[in-house]
Structure 1
Amino acid sequence: MEFADDVQPVPAADEALVRVEAFSPNRGETFLLENPRPGLVPGKDVAGLVVQAAADGSGPPIGTRVVGHPAKGGWAEYVAVPTHSLAVLPGAVDAVRAAALPLAGITALRLLRAAGGVAGRRVLLTGASGGVGHYLTELAAGAGAEVTAVTATARRGERLRALGAAAVVHDVAGARGPFDVVLESTGGAALPVALAKLAAGSTLIWFGQASRTPVTLDFFDFFTGPEGSAIRHFHYAGAPYGEDLATLVRLVDSGRLHPEIDRVEDWGRTARTLVDLRERRIRGKAVLTTGAGR
């Protein structure tokens, strides 16, 4: 990856032009760089200042601090963001924490909605040390769930306990079920093991494949395992995002949600950060700052 000059984006009528103060790359976005299409500018998680309001009158006015979730283009000084995917930032929420919210936070919110009411239910969460996992742990525990988080190291497990996890294990096989809900993001060999931890008639929601290893399932395992259970596929995407972003901002502002940011760097160090993110050397989120807010 290298820096390049480009023309400033020209927003559509329903888009605001945002001067980016901070952006947060996601591990999945690093895979786009394996075989990038010409002109690719990734970037879906941004925070900054509106410098041009939407021409159709929707969205915030010039000078408003915002967090946004554009489809692309956020790894830049300026990005055009649909106003339906922006949320206004209160003064107490800085751009660094805000930039860490969109994709991971929206995914966590929508996963919990897909799971239904979790109060009093036993929840198993795999791949818990990533950005989504930290948000899910805190949100689910705050809603009354008994969360067992799976993470590779004791250091990462300590933080998950602080966020509300009732138990932390370092391998999914060590989780003590049965569980009412399994939220599975690892794939590979972990998914069948997690599936076997379900209570009868319960649900596994599959929302990622961080291992990048295909899953093999034996249908006959259901006969001796969680009979009547279900597997659901989940993908967070689907605009508008503004309402969910506003919810996340409100939770952060009220002290009920704490973005787990392992690294804050100047965007001149983006390449190194992307490598470390891809190789899973970053706990939670990484945020790059452009210097625009100084």
Structure 2
Amino acid sequence: MDFTDVPPPAPEADEALIKVEAFAPNRGETFLLERPAAGLLPGKDIAGLVVQAAADGSGPGVGTRAVGHPPRGGWAEYAAVPTHSLAVLPHGIDSVRASALPLAGITALRLLRTVGSPAGRRILLTGASGGVGHYVTELAAAAGARLTAVTATPERGKRLAELGAAEVVHDVAEAQGPFDVVLESTGGPHLPVAVSKVRPGGLLIWFGQASRTPATLDFFELLGGPEGVTIQHFHYAGAPYGPDLAALVHLVERGRLHPEIGRVADWTEAAGTLVDLRERRIRGKAVLTTGAAR
């Protein structure tokens, strides 16, 4: 991976300029590097210091520490972030933990809103050892769900149990259904197996394809499986992100949400970190610091 010197971004009227203290790459972003588009500036999860307030008067002022979810350009010393995608950080939350919140945390919050009230419901979560999986597990369990997490190793399963998972299995086929809701993020051959675990009239929300393998559903097999199952596609995107970031920050501040950070490293170690993230050698989130982290 090559680094390039570019001028600091020129913020739009509704954007604040953030001096980045820490940023958290996401596994999906590593795939963008395979055939990078012209002008690609990756990076959506950052935390740092506001050094230039938005010209339109919105958002936090200069000197405020904030967490942000910019549309691009977060793997840098400075990032321009729309003020509707920022949340102020209290003194008790450092930039490393804060930078691990945006994409995974927002996805988890919005997934559970799509589910509706988790209380008393049986939920199956695949791909649970990633950043989204940890947040979903802790939030759903705290809301009263009985959650079964699918993860590859006993070590990762132990942590998910600590976060509230009622059961941990290492293959979706091992999960003892039926489940009211299945949250499926792996795709490929796992998707039809996950569908078979849904109770009649239940819901499967498909929110990822971590296996990078196309999924095939046999219509006749579906007819012989759970009756009336709903398969719903989910994507987290849709600004404003600020209110959800503020909610996540509040939960962390109150000790009700614990960012799972498997690696913290200096930005100069980005290449190796991105490879390990891509190859699933990092549990939860990876965070890179710029030397200014607090």
Alpha-carbon shift at residue 148 of structure 1 (Å)? 0.1
Instruction: Give the alignment of 1:179-218 within 5 angstroms.
Output: 179-218=179-218
Partners of 1:143 and 1:214 lie apart in 2 by: 33
Report the residue type matching 2:52 in the other structure: Q
Report the residue type matching 2:123 in the other structure: V
Matching residue of 2:22? 22
Partners of 1:36 and 1:61 lie apart in 2 by: 34
Report the residue type matching 2:110 in the other structure: R
* Runs of at least 4 residues off by over 4 Å: none
1:228 aligns with 2:236: no
Alpha-carbon shift at residue 293 of structure 1 (Å)? 3.5
Alpha-carbon shift at residue 224 of structure 1 (Å)? 2.4
Report the residue type matching 2:152 in the other structure: A
* Contact 2:127 2:150 (C-alpha < 8 Å) held by counterparts: yes
Matching residue of 1:35? 35
Per-residue CA shift, 1:226-254, capped at 9, x if unaligned? Answer: 10110000000011100000000000000
Alpha-carbon shift at residue 37 of structure 1 (Å)? 1.5
What TM-score results when the alignment is normalised by the length of structure 2? 0.99
Report the residue type matching 2:100 in the other structure: A
Instruction: Give the alignment of 1:107-186 within 5 angstroms.
Output: 107-186=107-186
Per-residue CA shift, 1:35-87, capped at 9, x if unaligned? Answer: 01222110000000000000000000000000000000000000000000000
Alpha-carbon shift at residue 194 of structure 1 (Å)? 0.7
Alpha-carbon shift at residue 4 of structure 1 (Å)? 1.3
Structure 2: any 5+ residue segments left out of the alignment?
Answer: none
Partners of 2:179 and 2:287 lie apart in 1 by: 34
Sequence identity percentage: 76
Report the residue type matching 2:121 in the other structure: R
Matching residue of 1:61? 61
Alpha-carbon shift at residue 89 of structure 1 (Å)? 0.3
What TM-score results when the alignment is normalised by the length of structure 1? 0.99
Q: CA RMSD in A?
A: 0.7
* Contact 2:96 2:293 (C-alpha < 8 Å) held by counterparts: no
Partners of 1:22 and 1:40 lie apart in 2 by: 20
Alpha-carbon shift at residue 225 of structure 1 (Å)? 1.5
* Contact 2:205 2:233 (C-alpha < 8 Å) held by counterparts: yes
Per-residue CA shift, 1:161-197, capped at 9, x if unaligned? Answer: 0000000000000000000000000000101001000
* Contact 2:23 2:287 (C-alpha < 8 Å) held by counterparts: yes
Structure 1: any 5+ residue segments left out of the alignment?
Answer: none
Partners of 1:5 and 1:276 lie apart in 2 by: 25
